[in-house]
Structure 1
Amino acid sequence: MSEIRLTGLQKKFGATPVLSDVDLCVEAGEFCVFIGPSGCGKSTLLRLVAGLEEPCAGDISIDGRRVNELPPAKRDIAMVFQSYALYPHMTVYENMAFGLRHLRLPKDELARRVHAASQALHLGELLERRPAALSGGQRQRVAIGRAIVRKPKVFLFDEPLSNLDASLRVKTRVEIARLHRNLNSASMIYVTHDQVEAMTLADKIVLLRPLEGRSGVASVAQVGSPLDLYHRPANQFVAGFIGSPSMNFIPATFVGADASVVRVSARGIGLDANVCADDLVIGEDVTLGVRPEHIRMGGGQLSGEVVHVEQMGEHTYVYLDTKLSAHPLVAKTAPGYIHIGQRLPFALAPDALHLFHRDGRAATRAVHEQGAGSLALA
């Protein structure tokens, strides 16, 4: 198993900086996903690890060895690109075996590796077909198989599912997750813009963001498990990026605190949030955040007029025009007949609310731990 460590990594294209002071450790055997807005440097960071780009500063280490000057072929990595890049005149077997032939492996070992990879990816019946006779999902699995047979220390995936339709993305995503469990000795870095892929595949998510005031420069917004980023975002950017629909934000003013309860005023309406009041100043502008599923519909002192409804089958998203914010609040509720113009009551539970400082930092929350009956700081 191979640890990947990035220290003080910086990258410029000409005079234009694109990545700034990236420090990151991908543990041995870990599935790490890079995600962020378009153009934030996800693929550039992956290409730096692969050796396809050279850093302007900082170090890249794989398995404890500095690899900055090593070419891609010497880093013991395998990369799966967004484009399948299969040889159209070769069969599936020949495409998967092509890279191994340069290693001068014995024929029986070569055949064993290809057949093992084809079975793992359900390609056993397709080995004699050419790429033109395969579906998009099958072609992508061949590209993944071509990487598997090399038995690298590190797998790198650059948006491998973006060319597939929704159904194939789900199926191939499951195959990649199963592959990681079966190849638990290999570390994997996966770049995607799809939050569902990030949340369902990752052991660790690295969320990148452009730095305000430095156009084009990106840095790490937060590193953690999928549920860490979802339930305990480090800042307002993370809170707004992770989750679909995204977190609701309510501008407010801090008016006081008592123990772990912070009191704010949102357009004259008083709200309580179970967060730590450290560093808050009376009169400070803050922002409350609440996930759609944490808005309690059907009761409470607050109400809103329905301006839009999205019926999803198993649940419904209701857009509410309220006095709290200039923008509608999105609430997730049970399926049922809800019509535009209807006024619905709702409540915002103090333990479900996030609070963000003026600079975007998240206040420490007191949240219900899973299965616990008391509040715990998180």
Structure 2
Amino acid sequence: MSRIELRGVGKRFGATPVLSAIDLSIAAAEFCVFVGPSGCGKSTLLRLLAGLEDPSEGEIEIDGLLVNALPPARRNVAMVFQSYALYPHMTVHQNMVFGLQHRQLPAGEVTRRIAEAVRILQLDGLLQRRPKELSGGQRQRVAIARAIVRQPKVFLFDEPLSNLDAALRVQTRLEIARLHRTLGSASMVYVTHDQVEAMTLADRIVLLQPLAGCTDAPSVAQAGPPLDLYHHPANRFVAGFIGSPAMNFVTATVRSTRDDRVRLDAQSMACEARVSAQGLTPGEPVTLGIRPEHVLLGQGPHRARVSHVERLGELSHVYLDLPGATMPLLAKSTRDDIAVDDLLAFGLPASAAHLFRADGVAQPRIGSPERAAGR
């Protein structure tokens, strides 16, 4: 069981900051996912844990041992790369055995480890094939098996599914989740740009934000269980990144406040947000946020014309034109009778609304969001 600690970790390439002020604890046996937009440093952070890069500042500790000066081979971690990194001239069995040969393990122990990895990842019948004879999903399973046989304290995954097609991504994602449950004691750190992978796999998500040249901004925008980031984003960046399709944002002004409710003027609409009013003043510019699934279609005090409908089978994405808004309001609906140019009633439930101040920080929400019904 290995706990990972990062204290004040930063990384610069020349004068360009990539990571800054990372203070993070990853619990033993936790499945932690680093996610964020391109250029936020998530793969660099994984390489710092692996020892493939050196931090510019801060300390990295694995299982109580400071590893800043330790080479990768002595950190007891195993990394699964995006590109599989299999030896093309070796069979599957030889690829799996290769990493154990320098450890001088008894032959019986090597055989046991190989057999266990083959069982977990269902590689029976593939051991004598070479990588070119395997599908992409099979190659990735071999790469994971090669990591398993090392029995590391920490598994590091660097976007392992990005080269697979959609069906294989789903299948391999399920296999990785099952692997985590099967191994139990090993910590897993997983990098992805795909928030579906992050939401479905993680015990905890660490959302990284690009520094955009700032040296004093922390890289971690928010860390926590997936649904915490979804329902209680710390700021507008988190709210806009987590969730697919993205949260709606509407320019608004505070009309009045009380302890647990804020009344707003939003794009000529009078509405409310059930959030803490602490620190808000009437007339203050804010941003109202609401997720597409929480927009109530067919009921409510507001009216808008449908500009576009995307039919996805089990539901549709309905785009509503708001007066003066640069972006349409997106709602999810199970109705199949909505058409372009329809004038629809809609509501924005106060309990499902988010509110962001001018600096992007979210006002604390009161209670949990109500999932809209009958859309």
Pick the TM interval, shorter chain. Answer: over 0.9
* 8 A contact 1:147–1:155 mirrored in 2: yes
Residues 217 and 14 of structure 1: is their aligned pair in 2 closer, same or farther, counting only changes over 3 Å?
Answer: farther
Cα deviation for residue 183 of structure 1 reads 0.9
Cα deviation for residue 326 of structure 1 reads 2.7
1:90 aligned residue: 90
Residues 213 and 95 of structure 1: is their aligned pair in 2 closer, same or farther, counting only changes over 3 Å?
Answer: closer
* 8 A contact 2:351–2:370 mirrored in 1: no
Deviations 1:248-280 (A, max 9, x none): 001101111133110111133211111100011
Q: Distance in 2 between matches of 1:213 and 1:147?
A: 36
SS at match of 1:368: coil
Q: Is 1:179 matched up with 2:169?
A: no
1:54-203 mapped onto 2 (5 Å cutoff)? 54-203=54-203
TM-score (norm. length: structure 2): 0.96
TM-score (norm. length: structure 1): 0.95
* 8 A contact 2:274–2:351 mirrored in 1: yes
SS at match of 1:297: strand
* 8 A contact 1:44–1:53 mirrored in 2: yes
1:325 aligned residue: 325
1:234 aligned residue: 234
1:308 aligned residue: 308
Q: Greater shift after overlay, 81-90 or 172-181?
A: 81-90
Letter in 2 for 1:287: T
Q: Distance in 2 between matches of 1:234 and 1:262?
A: 18
1:23 aligned residue: 23
Letter in 2 for 1:156: L
* 8 A contact 1:40–1:217 mirrored in 2: no
1:348-359 mapped onto 2 (5 Å cutoff)? 348-359=348-359
Letter in 2 for 1:192: T
Structure 1: runs of 5 or more not aligned: 372-378
Letter in 1 for 2:79: M
Deviations 1:210-231 (A, max 9, x none): 2356299761000001000000
Deviations 1:329-371 (A, max 9, x none): 1101104132111111111111010000110110011133799
SS at match of 1:174: helix
Alignment root-mean-square deviation, CA = 1.6
* 8 A contact 1:250–1:324 mirrored in 2: no
Cα deviation for residue 112 of structure 1 reads 1.1
Q: Distance in 1 between matches of 2:323 and 2:35?
A: 34
Q: Distance in 2 between matches of 1:325 and 1:184?
A: 50
Residues 51 and 62 of structure 1: is their aligned pair in 2 closer, same or farther, counting only changes over 3 Å?
Answer: same
Cα deviation for residue 282 of structure 1 reads 1.7
Q: Distance in 2 between matches of 1:368 and 1:144?
A: 39
Q: Distance in 2 between matches of 1:335 and 1:115?
A: 51
Q: Distance in 2 between matches of 1:173 and 1:368?
A: 29
SS at match of 1:254: strand
Cα deviation for residue 14 of structure 1 reads 1.4
Cα deviation for residue 238 of structure 1 reads 0.1
Letter in 2 for 1:131: P
SS at match of 1:87: coil
Residues 157 and 126 of structure 1: is their aligned pair in 2 closer, same or farther, counting only changes over 3 Å?
Answer: same
SS at match of 1:366: coil
* 8 A contact 1:17–1:217 mirrored in 2: no
